[in-house]
Amino acid sequence: MTAILAPYACDPQNTRGRRFAEVSAPTRTDFQRDRDRIVHSSAFRRLVYKTQVFLNHEGDLFRTRLTHSLEVAQLGRSIARALHLNEDLVEAIALAHDLGHTPFGHAGQDALNACMAPFGGFEHNLQSLRVVDVLETRYPQFDGLNLTFETREGVLKHCSRANAQALNAQEPGGVAQRFLDRTQPSIEAQLCNLADEIAYNAHDIDDGVRSGLITLAQLQEVPLFDEQRRATLAQYPQLEDASQGRRLLYETIRRMLSEQVYDVIAASSAALQAAAPASADAARWLSPLIGFSEAMREKSQVLKSFLLRNLYRHPQVMHTTGQAQQVIADLFAAYMDAPQTLPARPTPLTAQAELSVARQVADYIAGMTDRFASREHARLTGQQLLA
């Protein structure tokens, strides 16, 4: 039934478990069950209306947080299967990794972080954990989705030391401990981080070209892209024709993805063999074991800085970013002035420290979709931004 797992893969039989004990499901492993809970959550459905790079209303074919998360899961699972890692865990982490993202992508996150600076700040990774631990209220017996330690560990990709200390005080030796010990998460979690990077580097090229903000000609300065473009044209010279631009783009990106996936599999498999961790837990105490070869790391770096210079900092993207920051800052100020207008939330089942008004406001704003935030902004300020 299950693929053979490497000794260092996370085995659901040895999970460190859930925070609230539950009877196991009759036919599904704990990691499959985590994945299913994530797919059925409200936060997951909101991802479809949240920006990845381009705002949702800018075009129907651009990636959203949802399609991005599905691409991360696809890449993660392919690599996991080849490395005999736990595919279900990889899928669960991939589908949950962006649940805490604000509307309007990184612009929204930066703006909310700035608003929250006097109140402990806002980190989207920490927020993703907060969504699955606290904010989803759909079970009678606990708050959150009560996911396994391993899925939660993967969701908390980064965490500041101060936040790690605060989390660790609530859950001693829990998912924040590694940020204090400076150890690694499971190999499956390491894999999701890299799959995330591979996914956005590739789809941002596609969306960037589709938007007209970057061109195939500009991309010739990126070796990772251009080597595959040349190989594609050598095999299919008819794609030189301008009318075949999209086919050439897709085939190039497809080859680029394969090259990176096979590189990760080869490099990681060599690292895993050399380190030979005896268990999933032993791997947490070693250096990272999932990664590109040195040559691929450099090529991927060139692509990243290309996207930063030419796409993420494109004047048109920066203009939208400025407006998005305005919307978030205005919403934050409006709710802080009138916190009684925040919708009521179900009473938490578990004892929680009294939440500050600012944190409740941040939770509410972070949960919004792009369009809900724009409409709410228009209602509260009478201004039409990003609509």
User: Is 370 one of the binding residues for Mg ion (CB under 5 A)?
Assistant: no
Measure the CA–CA gap between 270 and 283, rounded to whole angstroms: 14
Residue span binding Mg ion (CB under 5 A) among the ranges 90-98, 104-112, 144-152, 215-223: 90-98
**Smallest separation, CB 52 to Mg ion (Å):** 8
**Smallest separation, CB 192 to Mg ion (Å):** 9
Please work out the total of residues on this chain that contact Mg ion, with binding judged by CB under 5 A.
Answer: 2
Residue span binding Mg ion (CB under 5 A) among the ranges 168-176, 191-199, 211-219, 234-242: 191-199
The whole-angstrom distance between residue 38's C-alpha and the CA centroid of its chain comes to 13
Q: How many CB atoms lie within 10 A of CB 1?
A: 4
Q: Toward Mg ion, which CB reaches closer, 94 or 115?
A: 94
Measure the CA–CA gap between 332 and 318, rounded to whole angstroms: 21
> Please, what is the angle between helix 245-275 and helix 187-211, to 10°?
170
Q: Toward Mg ion, which CB reaches closer, 98 or 251?
A: 98
Of 196, 207, 263, 376, the one binding Mg ion (CB under 5 A) is: 196
Q: Toward Mg ion, which CB reaches closer, 88 or 196?
A: 196
Residue whose Cβ sits closest to Mg ion: 196
Rule CB under 5 A: which of 264-293 touch Mg ion?
none
The answer to whether the CB of 232 falls within 8 A of the CB of 238 is no
Q: Toward Mg ion, which CB reaches closer, 202 or 239?
A: 202
Of 71, 98, 204, 251, the one binding Mg ion (CB under 5 A) is: 98
359-386 burial, b at 16+ Cβ within 10 Å, e below that, comes to bebbbbbbbbbbbebbebbeebeeeebb
Measure the CA–CA gap between 149 and 267, rounded to whole angstroms: 27
Query: Which residue reads 């998360």 in tokens?
Result: 69
**Smallest separation, CB 188 to Mg ion (Å):** 16
Q: Toward Mg ion, which CB reaches closer, 19 or 106?
A: 106
| Tokens coding 337 | 């002035």
Judged by the rule CB under 5 A, the positions of this chain that interact with Mg ion are: 98, 196
